[in-house]
Structure 1
Amino acid sequence: MPLRPSRDVFITCAVTGAGDTTGRSDKVPVTPEQIADAAISAAKAGAAIAHIHVRDPQTGKPSRDLGLYREVVQLIAASGVDMVLNLTAGAGGDLVLGSPDAPLPPDPLATDMASAEERLAHVAELRPEICTLDCGTMNFGEGDYVMTNTPAMLQAMAARIKDLGVRPEIEIFDTGHLVLAKWLKDRGLIADPVMVQLCMGIPWGAPDDMASLLAMTANLPEDWTFSAFSIGRNQLPFAALAVAAGGNVRVGLEDNIWLKKGVLATNEDLVRQAVQIVEGMGSRVMTPAEVRAKMQLERHW
């Protein structure tokens, strides 16, 4: 397979995520002010796109509170710093079963299953340029948590996102998710240009080795735009692999809290490292305006 590295690359910064990282790093933003500041700093460092979750300010746990999303977006807008907003729509698909001896009923405290409309309420009000669409169901981690996105749910969410005029970023965690994404596109539920995020190294999805990445990219339609990332210590090396494979880059504290061994990172730190990697490979970092033009995005917020 010939090497076709990307010459123009956009960087996404996933600033906080929904994982249990706040207890391991005090740099992970929690409050709306901290999340907005992290996105602004990442944009100033070179990230064109800010991928945003929100957290309960009191507990640090993931939330889908519309008011928290509203506050984050308002703070970013008031800053005057340009960036493309990418709001998660993954919350509301969290199924946590009971023990192996008694899997039903699901754990009522940890399970959060919501309708398509509820999962997209913040997207409908705030109208970011992009929102995520987790394209499949999979075991996640070592416990009883199942990331749950049925074909029927994905059809409903994709149709609603299209009606809102928001570009879905299709999150691909394994090879079957890519097949499902193609099926949604064939049904007219995803508009061109198609935007894909290859999420690698997450138990128990696609591993973050080069062969798995190339297997994924080999099955992507040529006119689809993709980014790729790995979690943990391979985040920054994977930025180089993504560019070499013809894609774009994602970094941020959602996926990795370390800058190097023993040194906790900030989102700004990781974006600066990603910029160095991209430019060191002879490529150019794209601006938010260039990403909007390339991906035909509309700013409403």
Structure 2
Amino acid sequence: MKSRLFITCAVTGAGDTVSGHPNVPVTAKDIAESAIAAAKAGAAIAHIHVRNPETGQAARDVAYYREVVERIRDSETDVIINLTAGMGGDLVLGGGESPLPPVSEYTDMAGPTERLMHVAELLPEICTLDCGTMNFSLGDYIMVNTPSMLREMARQVQALGVRPELEVFDTGHLVFVKQLLKEGLLDHPLMIQLCMGVPYGAPNDLLTLQAMVAQMPPDTVYSMFSLGRFQLPYVGVAPMIGSNVRVGLEDNLYLSRGKLATNAELVGRAATILEAMNVEVMGPPAVRDLLKLRKQG
């Protein structure tokens, strides 16, 4: 059983959750304040997406990221900033017998350099790298991350000295992680996030989770999460399989049945669960040492 671990808070995500929950942060100010509150509640890492403040929809404008990061840094709150680099790989086909052309209203495809513009400018300690292409949720949406795209993104992230958090949604993604490692595009220690229960990736069951853990490359620091009502139970499972944990409004909106949560409340509940299991919740300095992060900004 793992005796010490860290908590990541996924603050807002890219999903269409804003209309059903007043606590999902939308503006740069709200996202930064929610990340700061989560850090004070016990999160060592804040995983950050940004949204268009007028529409609430997911965005990747560098100016939004800049404002969030500057607000967090100016607050002098010690939290490790983890910026998503997943935006810019959204392909929505026409569906049925007419898949082409893609639906331009929802398709947002960009090359590796454009997808990493905010990372190159702001130099967070961590950024994400989604490790494969997959059907994602319902309809004709495809999350596109081809091998050539990922190789170039990994190369650029490595050159920047930023630690990639490798987002693994299924077992095949672990195969590609090992290939990137073999090619010298990843540095030790690896940081992997197991994303469970996301349609249509790895199903939300413990046997699949254990199988993925068993395939981890040596010298890997890994974390995991599941969606909705499974988020907090997975916190209790984590120490038993040697995993760190992720909670937050990106993946789950509720603290308990019928009670909407804040990010700080979800982090606080996760910390309570872990401490009741005699697990030490690590702070940012200890996590930096564990992951050999290069503190930036």
Pair 1:134-2:155 in alignment: no
Deviation at 1:99, TM superposition (A): 2.0
1:294 match: 290
For residues 184-223 of structure 1, what are the structure 2 equivalents within 5 Å?
A: 184-223=180-219
Matched, 1:121 2:117: yes
Answer yes or no: is 1:49 the counterpart of 2:45. yes
Please name the residue that 2:107 is paired with.
Answer: 111
Say which is worse superposed, 181-190 or 236-245, in terms of deviation: 236-245
What secondary structure sits across from 2:149 in the alignment?
helix
Contact 1:229 1:242 in 2 (8 A): no
Structure 1 vs Structure 2: percent identity of aligned residues? Answer: 58
Q: Secondary structure at the match of 1:273?
A: helix
DSSP-derived class of the 1:294 partner: helix
Gaps of 5+ in 1: none
Task: Tell me the distance in 2 between the aligned counterparts of 1:6 and 1:95.
Answer: 39
Distance in 2, matches of 1:190 and 1:279, equals 33
What displacement does 1:78 show? 1.0
Q: Supply the AA of the counterpart residue of 1:268.
A: A
Aligned: 1:36 with 2:36: no
Give the superposition deviation at 1:100: 1.0
3-state SS of paired residue (1:94): strand
What letter is aligned with 2:193?
Q
Corresponding residue number in structure 2 for 1:239: 235
Partner of 1:91: 87
Instruction: Tell whether 2:285 aligns with 1:283.
Output: no
Shift of 1:209: 0.9
- Distance in 2 (CA, whole Å) between partners of 1:293 and 1:45 is 21
Q: TM-score, normalised by structure 1?
A: 0.98
With structure 2 as the length reference, what TM-score do the two structures score? 0.99
**CA distance in 1 between partners of 2:280 and 2:119 (Å):** 30
- The alpha-carbon deviation at position 239 of structure 1 amounts to 1.1
CA RMSD of aligned residues (A): 0.6
- The equivalent of 1:70 in structure 2 is 66
Q: Which runs of 5 or more structure 2 residues have no equivalent in the other structure? A: none
Supply the AA of the counterpart residue of 1:228.
Answer: M
For residue 23 of structure 1, give the secondary structure of its aligned residue in structure 2.
helix
Q: Is the Cα–Cα contact under 8 Å of residues 93 and 147 in structure 1 kept in the other structure?
A: yes
Corresponding letter in the other structure for 2:38? A
Q: 1 CA distance for matches of 2:295 and 2:219?
A: 23
| AA of the residue aligned to 1:221 | P
**Residue-pair matches, total:** 297
**Contact 1:33–1:75 (CA under 8 A) maintained in structure 2:** yes
Shift of 1:62: 0.4
1:210/1:241 contact within 8 Å kept? no
- Alignment of 1:262 with 2:258, yes or no, is yes
* Alignment partner, residue 153 of structure 1: 149
CA positional deviation for 1:101: 2.1
